[in-house]
Amino acid sequence: MGCQHKVQKRFLASITTPRIMTNNENEIQKAAKNMIERYGENALKEVDLRVLELESRNQQEALRLWHDIRKRVELLVVRSAGSTKH
């Protein structure tokens, strides 16, 4: 239960921190790479948690951005997995 509480607390802090979000390729790429660096193999799960939270709060603008970030994380994870095969 302690670990789940930490994840939830970290998640809520990340979505409530005020910042200007610009929906451009550089920001999406940077956010996707950050999620992969922070969460590794769990990056898609973490992005999905953010998407669900934004959906529940009906935050449409942020939701669109996180859908784009999810697509980019997925792309980067697939590329990474492909580059590790021999």
What are 13-37's pLDDT values in tens digits? 555 554 554 548 899 999 999 999 9
How far out from the chain centre does Cα 7 lie? 13
> What's the pTM value of the predicted model, to 2 decimals?
0.69
| pLDDT above 90: percentage of residues in the chain | 59
**Domain spans of the chain, in order of start:** 2-83
How confident is the model over 44-63, as a mean pLDDT? 95
Instruction: Specify the pLDDT at position 24.
Output: 85
- Provide the b/e sequence for 36-60 (b: ≥16 CB within 10 Å): beebeeebeebbebbbebbeeeeee
Most confident residue range from 2-6, 8-12, 13-17, 26-30: 26-30
Token readout for 68 is: 């784009």
